[in-house]
């Protein structure tokens, strides 16, 4: 069975600070990895995804994530956060052989102080 | 291109009643997945439908059921509602649900059971 663990439940940063949100997954097979963001009052949106190839993937709004296979990790980073990045962030994984079922982490709430 | 549409947006039901939620996927998408989102449990996978067949199922009781129509629209039904069923129910659609795929989420239906 798949599982996803997000290490931080709530992160508070000041504008311009750097961000790193941890995500580890547990699954024996080959996976697709995702980060989704949910802004207040809005629906889940895809930030970035990893299917294969370069383990460093870049997404929208200056976010990036690095897939480290040996550590089963897919941490999200942004060098300088903005107040508008305040949102809830979800890491998700699905198996390449059964991508119709995604497993999500519990989410990390990011609050950026202006 | 229209996004994923879920109706209704809000519902209030009493314990013991049943409810049906609807999801219209993005045009051309054949896979529809349903998730339950609660503050304490995060996003929990309910089930996935592909070409009118349930292809994946999460760990929810039989009170939760669904179906998909030939036009890929999907409905989710919850019978004998319990207070603990209060949650945001999210629908996601994807092109094929296998291999290289990403899910697009609707705004959700907020169900309150009183």
In whole angstroms, what is the distance from residue A35 CA to residue A74 CA? 9
> Pick from B38, B87, B80, B83: which is nearest to B63 by CA?
B80
Could you report the per-residue pLDDT of B50-80, keeping only the tens digit for each? 999 999 999 999 999 999 999 999 999 999 9
In whole angstroms, what is the distance from residue B87 CA to residue B69 CA? 24
Residue ranges in chain B modelled with pLDDT below 50: none
What is the mean pLDDT of the segment spanning A57-67? 96
Residue A100: pLDDT band (50, 70, 90) is confident
Q: How many CB pairs under 8 A join A and B?
A: 61
- Residues of A in CB contact (< 8 Å) with B are 32, 34, 36, 42-46, 49, 51, 90, 92, 94, 96-107
- Cα-flanking dihedrals φ and ψ of residue B52, to 5°? 70, 5
CB A76 within 8 Å of CB A24: no
In whole angstroms, what is the distance from residue A8 CA to residue A13 CA? 13
* Number of neighbours of residue B62 by Cβ within 10 angstroms: 6
What is the mean pLDDT of the segment spanning A19-28? 94
């Amino acid at each position: 069975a798949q599982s996803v663990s997000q290490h931080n439940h709530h992160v508070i940063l000041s504008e311009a600070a750097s961000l790193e949100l941890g995500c580890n997954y547990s699954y024996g097979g080959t996976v697709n990895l995702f980060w989704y963001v949910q802004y207040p009052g809005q629906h889940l949106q895809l930030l970035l995804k990893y299917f294969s190839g370069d383990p460093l993937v870049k997404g929208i709004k200056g976010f990036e994530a690095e897939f480290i296979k040996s550590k089963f990790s897919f941490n999200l980073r942004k060098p300088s956060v903005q107040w508008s990045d305040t949102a809830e962030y979800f890491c998700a994984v699905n198996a390449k052989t059964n991508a119709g079922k995604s497993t999500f982490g519990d989410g990390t709430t990011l609050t950026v102080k202006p | 291109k229209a996004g994923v549409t879920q109706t209704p947006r809000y519902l209030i039901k009493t314990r013991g009643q049943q409810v049906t939620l609807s999801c219209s996927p993005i045009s051309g998408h054949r896979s529809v997945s349903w998730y339950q989102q609660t503050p304490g449990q995060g996003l929990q996978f309910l089930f996935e439908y592909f070409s009118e067949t349930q292809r994946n199922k999460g760990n929810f009781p039989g009170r939760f059921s669904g179906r998909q129509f030939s036009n890929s629209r999907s409905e989710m039904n919850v019978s004998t509602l319990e207070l603990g069923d209060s949650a945001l129910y999210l629908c996601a659609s994807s092109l094929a649900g296998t291999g290289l795929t990403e899910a697009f989420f609707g705004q959700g239906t907020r169900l309150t059971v009183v």
